[in-house]
C-alpha cells in the first residue's frame, strides 16, 4: 500500500513537469550513483564508506576544452544516518565553475533489516524497504580569468583580473528505496545567497533569486533466476527560472558474475530549452536530443563505469561526443 501511495504522489509531480530542459545535470547518475543528484540517496546500499570519482571530457582536439571532475564521499555514521560530500569542478577555457555540497541523510527502515553486506549492489534475495530524507548545504562559484587578455581599451568592465562570484545554496530530497521499486524527488537551489554581496550587481542578484531545479526519478528492478536482471527508469528535471525541462528514458541490463556484476545500458534524453534574443525581448524554444550507451563493472569493493554521449538532433551538445569515466571504492 505504501508503494502505491508513493508512486501516485511522485507520478503526479511528473505530470506537472513532464517536458524537456537544458539541465545543469548530465546523466552521470547512471554510473550507479544517484547521490550526485539526490541528497536523500546518500548511503543507499552502503555499510561503511564509499568514494566515487568521475571525469567528463570532450573536444579532445581543441586547446582549453571543457573538462569536468566529480567527487562524492559517503560515510554511514550509524544505521540510520549518513554524512556525505559531493563536489563538481568545471573548467571551460577562461571560465570556471565549482560547487561543493555537504549532506546529512536520515533513513527509516520499514522491515528492521539493515544493509549489512559489503556488496555495493542489491540482489533479489535482499529485503530492502527504506525511506530517507536528505539535506545539503552547498557552496558554489563562477569565475572568468581575464588575466591573459589583451586589453585594447580602458573599459573597466574588461578588467585584467580574476572575476569571481560565490554563492551559498540549500537542497532538500526524499527517497523511497526497495528491492524492486525506488523513487526519488529533490528540490535543488531552494535558497541561493551571494557570499560576496559587494561584488554582485543588481542584474545577477535578480537572476539567481528564483533558480530552483526540480528532479524526480523512478527505477524498477526485474530479477530472473538465471543471474540476469533488468532496470527501466525515468528521470525528469525542471528549472524554475528558465522553464527549461528534460526527460531521460533509461534501460540497464545486469549480469551477476563471481564477486560482482557486469552492466550495460542506454539513455535517451530530450530537452526543451528557451533562448533569449534581442536582450530578452524575444524568446524562442529549441529542442535537442542525445543518446548515451553505458557500460560498467562492480567487482568486490570496486566499481568502474564508462559512458559516451552523442547528440542525435540538429541542435547538439558537441559534434565529437562526450566521454565520462568513473571509478569507485567501498570499504
Name the residue ranges covered by the structural domains of the chain. 2-330
Q: Cα separation of 104 and 113, whole Å?
A: 21
What is the reported pLDDT for 13?
Answer: 36
Residue 78 to residue 80: CA distance in whole angstroms: 5
CATH of 2-330, one of 2.40.160.40, 2.60.450.10, 3.40.109.10, 3.30.870.10: 2.40.160.40
pLDDT of residue 53: 95
Q: What is residue 112's DSSP assignment? A: S
pLDDT at site 281: 56
The one-digit pLDDT tens for each residue of the chain (331 residues) are 444 444 333 433 333 333 333 334 678 888 888 999 999 999 998 888 999 999 998 877 677 778 889 999 999 999 899 999 999 988 877 788 888 999 999 999 988 666 666 677 888 888 889 999 999 999 888 877 766 666 555 555 555 455 667 788 899 999 999 999 999 999 998 876 765 554 444 444 445 555 789 999 999 999 999 989 999 999 999 988 778 889 999 999 999 999 899 999 999 998 877 665 555 555 666 677 889 999 999 998 899 999 999 888 665 545 568 899 999 999 8
H-run or E-run covering 247: strand 245-257
> Which three three-digit cell numbers place residue 266?
542506454
Helix (H) or strand (E) holding 133: strand 129-145
Q: Which helix (H) or strand (E) holds 4?
A: helix 2-17
Quick one: pLDDT at residue 141? 83
Report yes or no: 313 and 289 within 8 Å, Cβ to Cβ.
Answer: yes
Cβ within 8 Å of residue 211, ≥6 positions away: 189, 192, 239, 240, 241
C-alpha 197, offset from chain centre: 28
Amino acid at each position: 500500500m505504501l508503494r502505491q501511495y508513493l508512486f501516485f504522489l511522485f507520478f503526479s509531480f511528473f505530470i506537472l513537469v513532464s517536458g524537456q530542459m537544458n539541465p545543469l545535470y548530465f546523466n552521470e547518475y547512471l554510473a550507479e550513483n544517484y547521490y550526485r543528484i539526490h541528497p536523500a540517496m546518500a548511503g543507499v546500499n552502503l555499510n561503511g564508506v564509499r568514494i566515487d570519482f568521475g571525469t567528463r571530457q570532450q573536444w579532445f582536439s581543441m586547446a582549453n576544452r571543457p573538462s569536468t571532475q566529480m567527487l562524492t564521499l559517503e560515510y554511514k555514521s550509524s544505521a540510520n544516518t549518513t554524512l556525505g560530500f559531493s563536489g563538481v569542478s568545471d573548467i571551460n577555457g577562461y571560465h570556471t565553475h565549482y560547487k561543493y555540497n555537504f549532506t546529512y541523510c536520515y533513513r527509516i527502515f520499514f522491515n528492521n533489516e539493515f544493509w549489512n553486506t559489503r556488496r555495493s549492489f542489491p540482489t533479489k534475495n535482499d529485503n530492502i524497504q527504506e525511506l530517507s530524507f536528505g539535506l545539503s548545504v552547498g557552496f558554489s562559484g563562477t569565475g572568468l580569468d581575464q588575466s591573459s587578455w589583451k586589453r585594447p581599451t580602458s573599459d573597466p568592465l574588461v578588467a585584467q583580473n580574476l572575476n569571481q562570484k560565490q554563492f551559498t545554496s540549500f537542497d532538500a530530497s526524499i527517497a523511497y528505496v526497495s528491492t524492486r521499486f525506488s523513487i526519488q524527488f529533490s528540490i535543488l537551489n531552494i535558497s541561493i545567497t551571494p557570499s560576496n554581496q559587494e561584488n554582485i550587481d543588481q542584474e545577477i542578484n535578480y537572476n539567481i533569486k528564483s533558480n530552483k531545479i526540480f528532479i524526480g526519478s523512478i527505477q524498477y528492478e526485474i530479477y530472473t533466476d538465471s543471474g540476469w536482471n533488468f532496470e527501466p527508469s525515468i528521470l525528469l528535471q525542471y528549472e524554475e527560472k528558465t522553464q527549461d525541462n528534460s526527460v531521460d528514458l533509461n534501460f540497464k541490463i545486469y549480469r551477476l558474475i563471481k564477486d560482482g556484476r557486469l552492466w550495460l545500458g542506454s539513455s535517451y534524453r530530450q530537452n526543451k530549452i528557451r533562448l533569449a534574443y534581442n536582450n530578452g525581448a524575444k524568446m524562442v524554444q529549441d529542442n535537442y536530443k542525445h543518446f548515451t550507451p553505458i557500460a560498467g563493472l562492480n567487482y568486490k569493493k570496486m566499481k568502474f563505469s564508462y559512458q559516451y554521449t552523442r547528440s542525435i538532433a540538429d541542435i547538439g551538445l558537441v559534434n565529437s561526443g562526450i566521454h565520462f569515466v568513473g571509478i569507485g571504492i567501498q570499504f
